[in-house]
Chain A
Amino acid sequence: MKPPILRLLILVAIGGLSVGVASAGMARTEIENAIPMSSRELLGLVSKKGANVQVVDVRVLADDDDDVGGYQDARVPGSLPMPGCDPDKVPEQALGRVRADIPTVLVSRDGDAATFERCRKHFLRVRNLEGGMAAWSEAGLPEEDGPYVAPKPGAGGGCL
């Protein structure tokens, strides 16, 4: 076979393989997004110093009628408020902190799949907290309450 033709064939093969690798990579992200995260797994993740993950809480800010409550009643430490998955409802203190490009864990009241499906469009890589805030509280894991307070600059990336 003539070298130019051979070279062309090899380049076509490399191109095809590259497309295959890229599509497998994208499929992996999709699959990872569909796997719910357990409360313990999330605790391990947010406890790590400098963990590249954000926790976004989509519950209402306050709910006195519900035993789980709202964001300000009890939440995963360091989580960011985004009531109703609406970027326009993010409180002023947290504005600009909820980012689409950071791996995200979504916290709803009880990990409802419909809520997760509705919210996932706002993030590139996002997983659902299995059982939501109800499961987190039931497991007796650390909680925070009160309005969101932005961390001081240089205070570190860990949530706990």
Chain B
Amino acid sequence: MTRFERFAYATVVVALLVAWFGLARGNDALRSRAPSAQVAGGAR
């Protein structure tokens, strides 16, 4: 595996992780405004 390939994979993985955590945090914040979604979304 070339250095470029490693860099490309690492970038994609980090970008996906950031997007996932960002969405998850945003969803938690939104759930507090939507009482009915807490049931549907299984919020803590």
Residues of chain A having any CB pair with chain B under 8 Å: 3, 6-7, 10, 13-14, 17-18, 20-21, 24-25, 27-28, 30-32, 34-35, 113
Known: A31-B31, A35-B30. A14 touches B24 (CB 8 A): no
Q: A17: nearest residue on chain B (CB-CB)? A: B16
- Dominant SS among interface residues on chain A: helix
- Dominant SS among interface residues on chain B: helix
Q: How far is the CA of A158 from the CA of B26 in the complex (A)?
A: 29
Task: Tell whether, in the assembled complex, residue B37 and residue A34 are in contact, meaning their CB atoms are under 8 Å apart.
Answer: yes
Known: A10-B13, A14-B12, A35-B30. A30 touches B24 (CB 8 A): no
Contact among B1, B13, B26, B40 with A34 in the assembled complex (CB-CB below 8 Å)? B40
Q: With contacts defined as CB atoms under 8 Å apart, how many contacts are there between chain A and chain B in the complex?
A: 53
Task: Tell whether, in the assembled complex, residue B41 and residue A35 are in contact, meaning their CB atoms are under 8 Å apart.
Answer: no
Which of the listed residues A6, A30, A34 has the most CB atoms from chain B within 10 Å of its own CB?
Answer: A34
Residues of chain B having any CB pair with chain A under 8 Å: 1, 9, 12-13, 16-17, 19-20, 23-24, 26-27, 30-31, 33-34, 36-37, 40-41
Task: Tell whether, in the assembled complex, residue B30 and residue A32 are in contact, meaning their CB atoms are under 8 Å apart.
Answer: yes
Contact among A10, A14, A18, A27 with B41 in the assembled complex (CB-CB below 8 Å)? A27
